[in-house]
Amino acid sequence: MGDTPLRIVGAPGSPYSRKLRAVLLYRRIPHAWIQRGAPESHNLPQPRVDLLPQLIVPGADGALAARVDSTPLIRELESSFGGRSVIHPDPVVAFIDALLEDYADEWLTKAMFHRAGHRSRRVHHRRPAVGAAAVPVPAQVPAVAPRGLHGPRVGRGTHRRPSARGHRLRAALRRLSIAA
Ligand SMILES: N[C@@H](CCC(=O)N[C@@H](CS)C(=O)NCC(=O)O)C(=O)O
């Protein structure tokens, strides 16, 4: 994997694409970001399971192959590229880190898609980015939103003032932004 510039095929609304790209950026591994469906994505090898992100890397026989599944790919990148490791040297900390990663892979994506799609106004705004993941919320679904990035919700469609915590989190996310 180490000698060839990597290509990562993903989508801005795909949390796993952002996760893998964040690792590439943090580790300063040269790569090209290719958005799924863009002309650059045509004629690339296809993965066995059509998921995002896809890392285009030379296979064992030297031919390019599309690989999926961010967690093992991140581990493989560790052995192919030195420096700025994302795996803690202490096995206990590394285990807790892996546990958190697994938990976030499973559940944080649900919160993200919920944020992106639970309000009908936002569905229209986000649909191009999250695609099929954003489904319109039927009008009869009660407008319930926990206190989180925003202050308490007043009612469906009512503008809510972002909380101070929301501002801080958004500023941190902007600093970490990997948006294309
Ligand atoms: N375990 C995989 C999960 C990848 C995954 O579920 N990706 C979603 C997008 S975030 C996907 O490709 N869904 C099907 C699709 O978009 O067509 C990983 O960590 O990379």
Atom of ligand 1 nearest to the CA of 131: 16
Structural element, H or E, at residue 7? strand 6-10
Residues 73 and 111 in one domain: no
Categorize the per-residue pLDDT at 78 as very low, low, confident or very high, splitting at 50, 70 and 90: very high
* pLDDT for the residue 4: 65
Domain count, the chain: 3
Across residues 117-128, what is the average pLDDT?
58
Tell me: do 117 and 153 sit in the same domain.
no
Pick from 55, 63, 65: which is nearest to 23 by CA? 55
| Single-letter code of the amino acid located at 118 | H
Residue ranges around ligand 1 (CB below 6 Å) = 14-16, 51-52, 68-71, 105
Intra-chain end-to-end CA distance of the chain, in Å: 23
12 and 23 in a single domain? The answer is yes
- What is the per-residue pLDDT for 38? 96
Same domain? For 67 and 97 the reply is: no
Range of the domain at 112: 88-141
Q: What is the pLDDT, as a whole number, of residue 87?
A: 96
Helix axes 15-26, 91-117, angle to 10 degrees: 130
What would the DSSP string read from start to end of 99-111?
A: HHHHHHHHHHHHH
The confidence band for 131, taking pLDDT boundaries of 50, 70 and 90, is very low
Atom of ligand 1 nearest to the CA of 14: 10
CB 130 within 8 A of CB 10: no
For the segment 135-159, what is each residue's pLDDT rounded down to a tens digit?
444 454 444 444 444 444 434 444 4
What rounded mean pLDDT belongs to the chain? 79
Query: Tokens 């285009």 — which residue?
Result: 56
pLDDT at 93 over 60: yes
pTM over 0.85: no
Looking at the structure, tell me whether residues 71 and 132 fall in a common domain: no
**Ligand 1 geometric centre to CA of 143 (Å):** 28
The pair of three-digit structure tokens given for residue 107, joined into one six-digit string: 């559940």
